[in-house]
Amino acid sequence: MEQSFVIDTGPDFRMQMLREGIKRLDAVLFTHEHKDHTAGLDDIRPFNFYQKADIPIFGRQAVLEQLQREFAYIFNDKRYPGVPQVACVEINHLAFQINGIGIIPIPVLHYKLPVLGFRIGDFSYITDANHIPEESYSLLEGTEILVLNALQKEPHISHFNLDQAIEQAQRIGAKKTYFTHIAHRLGKHGAVEKELPEGIFLAYDGLKLRV
Ligand SMILES: [Zn+2]
Ligand SMILES: [Zn+2]
C-alpha cells in the first residue's frame, strides 16, 4: 500500500499538498515546535474529510504540548464540527513504526532546543540543527540520501551555516546530500550550487527524490 507521510506542516503545507496532488495523508511527523514547522496543521482538515479518520501526529512530548496550546480548538473536549481531527502519538529517541514502515529518530540540537531528524530506510532528514550529538552519527551510517539544513553563509546561533553543513555532510558521507531551510541571504541557487563539493546540492520546492 502506498503511504504518504509528511515531516512538519509549515505555513505552505496546504499549497504543497495541492501542488503535489497528495490525496491521502497517513501521518505527520514533527521535528520540533517552531511555528515555521507547525503553522499549517489546520489544513489537514480535507484529509479528515476524505479519510473519515483522525490523522496520527507524531512528536516529542514538548512538541505535542505546544501544539495543544497553539491549536487549542483542535484539542477541545467540545470540538466545533469540522476542526482538524488528530491522534497524538508521543515519540522519543527510540525507533518506531508507522503502518509497517520503520522510522529512526535522529536527535539533534537547534541551539539548546532538542529537535528530531528522521531516518526512513536509507533516507535521512535533518532540519533546524546546529549540532549533531556523537551518538546520532551512527544512526546515520549508510544513509544514501541526506537532507540537511544550511541557512546562510554567515554563522547563526541555531542553524548550520553553509560551511558547517558541508562539513557535516562530508562527515556523514551520504551518497547525495541536499541542503534545505535556506534563507534568502544564502545567495542564488545556481551560483551557490557551483560552489558545492561533489554529491552536495541545494534542495528546492517540488524536488523529488527516490531512494
Ligand atoms: Zn526551528
Ligand atoms: Zn525552522
- The distance from CA 128 to its chain's CA centroid, rounded to whole angstroms, is 9
Long-range CB contacts (within 8 A, 24+) of 72-81: 74/41, 74/42
197 Cα–ligand 1 center, Å: 26
pLDDT above 70 coverage of the chain, percent:
100
Is pTM beyond 0.95? Reply is yes
19 in helix, strand or coil? helix
20 Cα–ligand 2 center, Å: 21
Residue 121 CA to residue 151 CA, distance in Å, equals 26
Sequence spans of domains, the chain: 1-91, 95-211
36 Cα–ligand 2 center, Å: 5
- Domain 95-211: CATH superfamily is Ribonuclease Z/Hydroxyacylglutathione hydrolase-like (3.60.15.10)
96 Cα–ligand 2 center, Å: 24
Residue 88 CA to residue 75 CA, distance in Å, equals 10
**CATH placement of domain 1-91:** 3.60.15.10
**pLDDT tens digits for range 137-147:** 999 999 999 99
Residue 187 CA to residue 193 CA, distance in Å, equals 10
pLDDT for 175 equals: 98
In the chain the first and final C-alpha atoms are separated, in Å, by 17
List CB-based neighbours of ion ligand 1 within 5 Å: 34, 128
pLDDT for 90 equals: 98
Decide: 68 and 77 in contact? Cβ < 8 Å: no
pLDDT above 90 (res 1): no
DSSP state of 80: P
pLDDT for 211 equals: 87
Indicate if 95-211 has the same CATH topology as 1-91. Answer: yes
> Average pLDDT, whole number, for the chain?
97
pLDDT for 196 equals: 98
Element (H, E) at 190: helix 189-194
What would the mean pLDDT of 68-84 be, rounded to a whole number? 94
Phi first, then psi: what are they for 173, rounded to 5°?
70, 35
Phi first, then psi: what are they for 36, rounded to 5°?
-70, -5
pLDDT above 90 (res 58): yes
191 Cα–ligand 1 center, Å: 26
pLDDT for 141 equals: 98
pLDDT for 70 equals: 98
